[in-house]
Amino acid sequence: MQTTDARIHPFRLEIPNADLDDLHARLDQARWPQTLPGIGWSRGVPLDYLQRLAAYWRSTFDWRAQEARLNNLPQFTTDIDGQTTHFIHVRSPESDAMPLVLTHGYPSSVVEFLELIDPLTNPRAHGGNPADAFHVIIPSLPGFGLSMPLSDTGWEARRTAVAWAELMRRLGYARYGAHGGDIGAGVSGLLPAVDPGSVTGVHVASDPGGAMAFALMTGGLGSLEQFSDAERARIEELRKQAEDGRAYLQLQSTRPQTLAYGLTDSPVFQLAWIVEKYKEWTHPSAELPEDAVDVDQLLATISLYWFTRSGATAAQFIYAAAHAAGDWGGPSPVPTGFAVFGTESFARRLLDPNGMIQHFSEFEAGRHFPSLEEPRLLIDDIRTFFRSLREQ
């Protein structure tokens, strides 16, 4: 790790009016492609849908309100391993609260966890047990959102976990828990290995589609003999969906710099690039992304990507992760909790074939973004998992 300035600095988000004006001008002057009749979402984001969403972003969405919401929270930056690292740090009013680091994934940001902060830090105010309180730390992944600019190549899950361990030391937390989904699950899962003796437990949120994508990325599914014919057919359906949806990952894992020009120059491209994932990865009962997650929260994250130009650097992170040593998903030396949203009958056998996960919860609701889709379920599961670990 590079020698860096270990000071922690208060941070306030202030996007210049000129940047807002530039966004609005680019949306006003967008060049739209032709489309084919009757294709819906089968070939990507439909033209009429994206035009409506872009118009909402341009004329109705209130960035300043979202900015103020973030600025109402204690935000900070610190330099870790040469990287400017942004984080939200909200201490609980309960003095004996457990520190908990929450790590977002892709395509996401710290906005993903805003609805969780008050119930986790102050359960007493939400009808909960004050013994379940957490001090909450929410960092922005390197190259994502406000952890900018990206300092160099090689930022991936393990290096990020090492940085998070250093962040927790700087904050004075000798023992803490971790939660994450998507990339955040990988970072959280690596923390016990890079910071032995400090991590109380790791709680992960996932969904069967995400698990399938991870299985394909890390080498396959293994034997399917234990599954019924109907389950094998459903697993094959999920496999095909994961394969079909991997184009975004393949491009970012191989040519992130080429992709960077479109994501940085065109807000319509950045909008389409992210909103497609919220359509495909939220619960299938939702006809449109905003039927699953709040549209203003979605656009707050997309706006962060746009204003910070981090669509490009997030792709660089994914490139580095794809070319790093494959050390995700190994057995954990600390208790692990797994919450599966949008579950299937075979989810546990697929995700935990050897029964090694101590806490395994399944929910029919939600999917890849449970902190946005089903925050109450996620909050309750985090509380339940860590309840028995607080005295350890």
pLDDT, tens digit (0-9, with 9 covering 90-100), for 28-76: 999 999 999 999 999 999 999 999 999 999 999 999 999 999 999 999 9
pLDDT reported for residue 347: 87
Q: Look at residue 95 and give its three-state secondary structure.
A: coil
- Residue 177 belongs to what H/E stretch? strand 176-181
**What distance in Å separates the CA atoms of residue 173 and residue 170, rounded to the nearest whole number?**
8
DSSP 13-67: ----HHHHHHHHHHHHTPPPPP--TT-TTTTSS-HHHHHHHHHHHHHT--HHHHH
pLDDT reported for residue 164: 98
Chain position carrying tokens 């990287």: 83
- The CATH H-level (homologous superfamily) assignment of domain 8-26+55-387 is Alpha/Beta hydrolase fold, catalytic domain (3.40.50.1820)
pLDDT reported for residue 215: 66
Residue 98: name the closest of 140, 139, 138, 131 by CA: 131
pLDDT reported for residue 296: 98
pLDDT reported for residue 216: 64
What pTM was estimated for this model as a whole?
Answer: 0.95
Residues of the chain with pLDDT under 50: none
